[in-house]
Amino acid sequence: MHKETNQDIDFHMGRLIKAELTRQGRTATWLARQVHCTPENIYKVCRQQYVTMHLLFEISKALERDFFRDCSSYLESME
């Protein structure tokens, strides 16, 4: 089981997703249509620190950004 540390607080996937949406000038409604969910679910995702792998994969495809690489880079920076 993963125990949260202070370093974990620095990494927040929802904020990364929200920032990318903003950078691309896209809306939660647009992303919801791409990943087949509701805009409310996207707003919830943007508030969450962690996102399921399947949803992250779908969001990565829709936004054409490899969020998994962001995770890997963060892990490498912790070493």
28-76 per-position pLDDT tens digit: 999 999 999 999 999 999 999 999 999 999 999 999 999 999 989 988 8
pLDDT band at 9 (very low <50, low <70, confident <90, very high): low
Entry pTM = 0.83
Q: Specify the CATH number for the domain of residue 18.
A: 1.10.260.40
All residues at 6 or more sequence positions from 43 whose CB lies less than 8 Å from its CB, including other chains: 28
64 vs 78: CA distance, rounded Å: 26
Residue 4 domain-assigned (yes or no): no
Instruction: Give the per-residue pLDDT at 8.
Output: 53
Domain enclosing residue 62, as ranges: 12-78
**What's the confidence (pLDDT) of residue 1?**
43
Residues 34, 11: Cα–Cα separation, whole Å: 25
29 located within any domain: yes
Domain count, the chain: 1
| Residue 2 pLDDT > 60 | no
